Chain A
C-alpha cells in the first residue's frame, strides 16, 4: 500500500512538473543558416501555445517558451519542425525561463 502511495505521489510530481514546464528545448539537425532559423521561428510562433522562440545555430537548439497553463505535445513539435524541413533529435522540458535559455545560449558562444 505504501509502495502504491509512493508511486502515485511520484507520478503526480511528474505530471505537475510536465504540465508546468516553462520551456521546451529541442536539439535539431540541419541548422546551419539564418534562413533555417527564420523558417523554424515563423512556424513555431504560429502555434497557439507559443509565447517566445529562441534559435541557436551554435547550439543546434530550438527553444519554445509556453504560454501560462498551455502545452505543446512532443508529436506536435516534431511535426512543426519536420514541416519546416528539419529533423528533431531530442526534446527536453524544463522550468528554465526563455530569458535564461537566451542568456545561456549567448554565454555559450565561442
Chain B
C-alpha cells in the first residue's frame, strides 16, 4: 500500500498533467475511439496492437479555438508504445509514449501542411482508484497545440470481469496554442463492460465532454 502511494505521488510529479483510456488495450486487439472535447476538439482513432506493448493506427482530429476563429483539421498516423508497466498485486501502473505524422488543414493558412504529433501518459489504477496524467501535442508550421490532462477517479464498488464498472472522475485540462484560456475542469462518469467503454460529463463551462471506445 505504501508502495502504491509512492507510485501515485511519483506519477503526479513526473508529467505535467493526464488522460483517460490506454492507447494500447491488449495484444492482438483493435481499439476504436471517438471523443468530443467540450467544443475545442473532436477526434476519432483506430489502432491495432500486434503485441501488448505497442499499437499502430491513425486518426482524425479537429481543433476549434474558443478564444479565436482559428480551427484546424489533422489526419495522422501514430505509433503508441508502452515504455514500462508495473504489475503490482492489486494494481497496475503504466507509462506510454506516442508519436506520428500527418497532414493538416486550417482556416488560417492555405493548403495542407505536414503535421507532427507526440505525447505521453502515465497512469496508476486499482479497482477502486484511478489516476493519470497525459500530455498530447499536435503541431505544424502554422499552429502548435498541447493539451495536458489530469484525471483522478474513484469507483463506488470493485467491478469484476464481465460486470459493469463505474467510475466517477474529476478532470483538469490545460491548453496551450490558443484553444482555451485557463484550466478547464470537468466531472465525468465512466462506464465499461467487456470491450465497451463510454464516458460523459460536463465542464466548468457547462459543455459536454464525451468519449466512446471499443476493444475487440
Q: Which of A2-10, A18-26, A84-92 contacts B (4 or more CB under 8 A)?
A: A84-92
Q: A39-B26, A42-B28, A109-B160 are in contact. Are A32 and B126 (CB under 8 A)?
A: yes
Check if A30 sits within 8 Å of B158, measured CB to CB: no
Tally chain B residues at the interface, Cβ within 8 Å. 32
Minimum C-beta distance from A110 to chain B (A)? 7
In this complex, the member of A30, A84, A87 whose beta carbon has the largest number of chain B beta carbons within 10 angstroms is: A30
Check if A84 sits within 8 Å of B26, measured CB to CB: yes
Chain B residues 60-103 with CB under 8 Å of chain A are: 82, 85-92
Q: Mark B190-214, 1 if CB is under 8 A from A, else 0.
A: 0011110000000000000000000
Interface bracket on A: 20 to 34
Is the C-beta of B42 less than 8 angstroms from some C-beta in chain A?
A: no
Q: A32-B91, A60-B90 are in contact. Are A39 and B52 (CB under 8 A)?
A: yes
State the CA gap A110–B125 with chains docked (Å).
Answer: 20
- Chain B contact residues, majority secondary structure: loop
Closest to A29 in B: B87
Check if A33 sits within 8 Å of B165, measured CB to CB: yes
Is the C-beta of B51 less than 8 angstroms from some C-beta in chain A?
A: yes
Check if B158 sits within 8 Å of A34, measured CB to CB: no
State the CA gap A84–B126 with chains docked (Å).
Answer: 18
Please pick, from A33, A40, A83, A109, the residue contacting B125 in the complex, using a CB distance under 8 A: A33
Check if B27 sits within 8 Å of A43, measured CB to CB: yes
Check if A32 sits within 8 Å of B125, measured CB to CB: yes
Check if A35 sits within 8 Å of B25, measured CB to CB: yes
Minimum C-beta distance from B113 to chain A (A)? 35
Please pick, from A29, A30, A34, A85, the residue contacting B53 in the complex, using a CB distance under 8 A: A85
Check if B27 sits within 8 Å of A39, measured CB to CB: yes
Check if A87 sits within 8 Å of B87, measured CB to CB: yes
Instruction: Give B contacts to A, CB under 8 Å.
Output: 22, 25-29, 51-53, 82, 85-92, 125-127, 158-162, 165, 192-195, 215
Give me 8 other A-B pairs in contact (C-beta within 8 A), A30-B92, A34-B195, A43-B28 excluded.
Answer: A29-B87, A29-B89, A32-B125, A33-B165, A34-B194, A38-B161, A42-B26, A43-B26
Give 27 A-B contacts (CB < 8 Å), ordered by A residue.
A30-B86, A30-B92, A33-B92, A33-B125, A33-B165, A34-B159, A34-B192, A35-B195, A36-B26, A38-B26, A38-B29, A38-B161, A39-B26, A39-B27, A39-B29, A39-B52, A42-B29, A55-B161, A57-B158, A57-B161, A58-B160, A83-B51, A85-B26, A85-B53, A87-B87, A109-B160, A110-B158
